[in-house]
Amino acid sequence: MAESRDDFVIAVRSAFLKKANKQKFSLLTLLILSLIIIFLGSFNFKVIQYTKLGINELVYRFTYIASIPENYFKKYYFKISEHLYLYDKFKENQIILKNLKEKKLSNDYLILENKKLRKLINETIQSEDIYAKVLADNESPYLKSIILNKGSKDNVKMGMAIVDQSYLVGKIIEVNYTNSRALLLSDLNSKIPVLLEPYDMQAVLSGTGQIYGVIEYTKEDYRYSMDGDVIVYTSGQGGLFKPGLPVGKLIKDNGNRSLINFFSDFKQLDYVKIVSYEIGVNK
Amino acid sequence: MSSLEKNSFIKSIQFYVPSLILLFSVFNEFDLNYLNIEYFSFNFVYILIFYWTLKNPLHLSYGIIFLSGLVNDVVIGIPIGLSSFCYLLICTVTAYLRNITLSPNFINDWITLLFTLLLVNSVEVIFLDLIFSIHVDYTKFFVNTGFTFLFYPIFLIIFNNFEKKIRIRKND
C-alpha cells in the first residue's frame, strides 16, 4: 500500500518537476505562470492588459494570413452550394422582388413623412460609418466574435454597432490600435434592446450560441398573441444602437421562447460597417 | 554535400512539424463551423497535444504549448492564460501516464484522453462561467468533448504514420 503511494508520488513529482530532453521549462513553472496570468488578468492588471494589446496587434494579422487557405475552402463551399440551389433561389427571388417593388413605393412616402416630422420636433440623427474588413471569424464553441481591421486609430470605440449591409450583426467589445473585436448577436453573452414590430413591443434579444436568438423580458400574454410577420428592430434604448436597425424575424414559438432568425448570415461576413450615431437637436 | 545539407534541413523541418501544426491550428482556429452542423465541433489542438506529449514529447516543447495557449486566448477572445493552463494540464496527464506506463496500450490512452478532456473542459467552464462570468453552452462542451474523443483514433493513425517516418529518417 505504502509502496504504491510512493510510486504515485514519484510519478507525479517526475511529471511536474522533471525537465525532459530539450524542455527548457518544467511543467509546474509554466502551470504557475499561466495561473498568475489568469488571476492578474481577472483583476485588470495593467502589465497584462498592455501585453495582451501587444499580442493582439501581432496575432490578429497572423490569424488573417493563417486563415487564407480555410477562407478559400469556405468561399468555394458556398459557391458550390449556391450553384446547386440556383433555380430554386431564382424563383424565390422573383416573388420577393415583386413584393419589394410594391413596398418600396409606400416606404418612400414614409421616409419623406418621417423626415418632415423630425424637422417639426427639431430632431436629427447623425450617423457615421466606418467600413471594415473581417480579418477572422472565430465562431468557436465558446465565443462568437469577429476580428475587424479597424481600431482606435480609425476612431472605433467600444459599444459601436456592427452592420452588414443594413442589418445589425453585433457590437464592438475590444478595441486595439489597428484592429478590434466585435461580439456577434448569436453569442450567449449578447443582449440588446429591441422593438418588435408591428406590435411596438420593447424586449431584449439574447444570443443562444446557435444560429438564432431568443426574445426575453416580454409579457407572457403578448408573447402568445403575436401572429403574422414580426420583425425585430433595434429600439435605441440605452443609447447604444441607432434605433430602427433591422435585426431579424420571429420564426416560431418554441415552448416558452420566441426564436429570432437573424437577417444576416454571420458565417459569410466579409466587409461590415461600424456605425456610430448621435441624436441631436436642430438649432 | 549539398544533398546532405538539404537532407538535414528537411529532417530539422520534420522535427518541428508538430510545433508548426500546433501554431498554425491556434492561429487559424480551424473549426468547420460554416458547414452549418449545429452540434458538431472538435478540438484538434487537444488531440495534437495529447498525442505528441504522450508519444514523443521531444517534438512539442512545453514552452511552445504555453505560447500557443496565449495565442489561442487572444484569437478566441477568452481571458489570457486560460488555454495555456488547459494545454499544460493535458501535458501533466500525459507526463504522468508516461511515467507509470511500461507498455503503451491504445485503449488505456483513449480512456485517459476522455478523462483528460472532461477535466480540461470542466476547468475551462469553471474559469469562464464562475470566475469571469462569461456564459458558455454546456451542451457544446459535451459535444466538443465527445467528438474530440471519437476523432482521436483517426488522428492517431495519421500521427503514428508521420511519427514512424520521422523515426526512420532519424535512424538512417
- In a shared domain, residues A98 and A50: no
Mean pLDDT computed over A195-204: 80
From chain B, the residues in CB contact with A63 under 8 A are 27-29, 75
B61·A24 Cβ contact <8 A: yes
Residue B38 lies in a domain: no
Write down the mean pLDDT value for chain A. Answer: 79
The C-alpha atoms of residue A68 and residue A73 are separated, in whole angstroms, by 9
Residue A201 lies in a domain: yes
pLDDT of residue A105 exceeding 80: no
Our count of domains for chain A comes to: 3
Phi-psi region of A261 (alpha: psi -120 to 50; beta: other; left: phi over 0): beta
* Nearest residue of chain A to residue B25 (CA atoms): A66
More confident residue, B131 or B92: B92
- In a shared domain, residues A174 and A231: yes
- In a shared domain, residues A107 and A135: no
pLDDT of residue B118 exceeding 90: yes
DSSP string, chain A: -HHHHHHHHHHHHHHHH---TT--S-HHHHHHHHHHHHHHHHTT-HHHHHHHHHHHHHHHHHHHHHTHHHHHHHHHHHHHHHHHTHHHHHHHHHHHHHHHHHHHHHHHHHHHHHHHHHHHTTEEEEEEEEEEEEEEEEE-SS-EEEEES--GGGT--TT-EEEETTEEEEEEEEE-SS-EEEEETTSTT-EEEEEEETTTEEEEEEE-SSSEEEEES--HHHHHH--S--EEEE--GGGSS-TT-EEEEEEEEETTEEEEEESS-GGG--EEEEEEEEEEE--
pLDDT in tens, B70-89: 888 888 888 888 999 999 99
The C-alpha atoms of residue A166 and residue A65 are separated, in whole angstroms, by 28
- In a shared domain, residues A238 and A262: yes
- In a shared domain, residues A75 and A60: no
pLDDT of residue B63 exceeding 80: yes
Cβ(A158)–Cβ(A276) below 8 Å: no
Interface membership of A66 toward B (CB under 8 Å): yes
pLDDT in tens, A21-46: 556 677 888 888 888 888 888 887 78
Angle (CA) B45 B46 B47, round 5° = 90
The pLDDT of residue A174 is 86
The pLDDT of residue B149 is 92
pLDDT exceeding 70 applies to what percent of chain A? 80
Amino acid of residue B120: V
The pLDDT of residue A56 is 80
Question: A219: domain CATH number?
Answer: 2.40.10.340
Which range has the worst mean pLDDT, A184-188, A224-228, B72-76? A224-228
Q: End-to-end distance of chain B based on CA atoms, in angstroms? A: 16
Interface membership of A85 toward B (CB under 8 Å): no
Neighbours of B49 (CB within 10 A): 28
A77·B34 Cβ contact <8 A: yes
- In a shared domain, residues A39 and A155: no
Which span out of A42-51, B44-53, B128-137 was modeled with the highest average pLDDT? Answer: B44-53
Q: End-to-end distance of chain A based on CA atoms, in angstroms? A: 88
Which range has the worst mean pLDDT, A65-69, A83-87, A139-143, A238-242? A139-143
Cβ(B9)–Cβ(A240) below 8 Å: no
Residue B88 lies in a domain: yes
Selected for mutation to probe chain A from B34, B130, B136 (highest A CB count within 10 Å) is B34
pLDDT in tens, A128-160: 788 888 887 766 656 788 888 888 888 888 888
Selected for mutation to probe chain A from B33, B83, B120, B133 (highest A CB count within 10 Å) is B33
The pLDDT of residue A6 is 66
Distance (Å) of CA B62 to CA A31, A55, A89, A146, B32: 10, 19, 52, 29, 28
Phi (first) and psi of residue B60, to 5 degrees: -135, 100
- In a shared domain, residues A57 and A170: no
Mean pLDDT computed over B104-126: 89
DSSP state of B59: G
Which range has the worst mean pLDDT, A16-20, A244-248, B40-44, B134-138? A16-20
Residue B101 lies in a domain: yes
Mean pLDDT computed over A276-281: 67
Distance (Å) of CA A18 to CA A14, A89, B43, B92, B97: 5, 62, 28, 11, 14
pLDDT exceeding 90 applies to what percent of chain A? 0
As beta bridge partners, residue A248 has A232, A262
Residue B80 lies in a domain: yes
The H or E element spanning position B131 is none
Identify the domain containing residue B131 by its residue range. Answer: 46-167
Give the closest of B30, B77, B88 to A34, CB-based: B88
Our count of domains for chain B comes to: 1
- In a shared domain, residues A154 and A279: yes
The C-alpha atoms of residue A259 and residue A206 are separated, in whole angstroms, by 10
Give residue A226's pLDDT band: very low, low, confident or very high (50, 70, 90).
low
Please say which residue of A121, A154, A186 terminates a domain.
Answer: A121
**A47 contacts: CB under 8 Å, gap ≥ 6:** A40
pTM of the predicted protein model: 0.72
Mean pLDDT computed over A114-140: 77
Angle (CA) B92 B97 B100, round 5° = 130
A143·B78 Cβ contact <8 A: yes
Cell of residue B22, nine digits: 500546433
Interface membership of A80 toward B (CB under 8 Å): no
Residue A140 lies in a domain: yes
As beta bridge partners, residue A193 has A204
- In a shared domain, residues A224 and A91: no
The C-alpha atoms of residue B89 and residue B93 are separated, in whole angstroms, by 6
- In a shared domain, residues A196 and A275: yes
Which range has the worst mean pLDDT, A65-69, A138-142, A249-253, B14-18? A138-142
Identify the domain containing residue A157 by its residue range. Answer: 130-283
pLDDT of residue A207 exceeding 60: yes
The pLDDT of residue A257 is 64
Give residue B172's pLDDT band: very low, low, confident or very high (50, 70, 90).
very low
- In a shared domain, residues A56 and A104: no
Residue A235 lies in a domain: yes
